[in-house]
């Protein structure tokens, strides 16, 4: 049984959804050593999220951001948590909708993703800064 764990510090991304699959796999050549197992990606923040979605067409990311900004608008009159800016409370809600971790099977030394799947960072703040991930690989060599 092999367990490998690394922290990854992402570059600063603008508000919206971003494809980060290769940013993660480039830091983890050890995936190749695992015959059967999984990779867990965890994001250490409460106003950014990790999810899986379509990896080819950037309009999916744009439409997702446009939809979420309408579904969870800023400046709702009943929001009390607003001293960090009008983008803060919506960011907390979005983060819990999409979630803080994904777990992806590893098969024969590769992530066993579907053809069209990629890992998305959801950056829900206007100026979120660099985000930190903890990636854990577990499996058999």
Which residues make up the interface to a second copy (CB under 8 A)? 1, 3-5, 36-38, 40, 42-46, 51-55, 57, 59-60, 62-64, 66-67, 71-72, 76, 78-81, 89, 92-93, 95-105, 107, 112-114, 116-117, 120, 132, 134, 136, 138-140
Closer CB to a second copy, 25 or 117, in the complex: 117
Closer CB to a second copy, 22 or 105, in the complex: 105
Sign of CA dihedral 74, 79, 81, 84: positive
Sign of CA dihedral 135, 9, 125, 64: negative
H helix intervals, 8-57: 21-25
Could you tell me which residues come within 8 angstroms of residue 86 by beta carbon, excluding any fewer than 6 positions away? 74, 75
CB of 26 to a second copy, least distance (A): 20
């Amino acid at each position: 049984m092999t367990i490998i764990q690394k922290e990854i510090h992402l570059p600063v991304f603008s508000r919206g959804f971003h494809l980060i699959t290769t940013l993660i796999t480039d830091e983890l050549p050890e995936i190749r050593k695992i015959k059967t197992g999984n990779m867990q990606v965890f994001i250490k923040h409460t106003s950014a999220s990790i999810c899986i979605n379509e990896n080819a067409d950037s309009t999916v990311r744009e439409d997702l951001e446009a939809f979420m900004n309408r579904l969870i608008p800023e400046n709702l009159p009943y929001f009390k948590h607003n001293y960090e800016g009008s983008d803060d409370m919506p960011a907390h809600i979005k983060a819990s909708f999409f979630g803080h971790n994904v777990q992806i099977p590893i098969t024969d030394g590769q992530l066993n993703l579907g053809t069209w799947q990629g890992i998305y960072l959801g950056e829900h703040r206007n100026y979120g800064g660099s985000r930190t991930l903890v990636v854990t690989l577990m499996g058999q060599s």
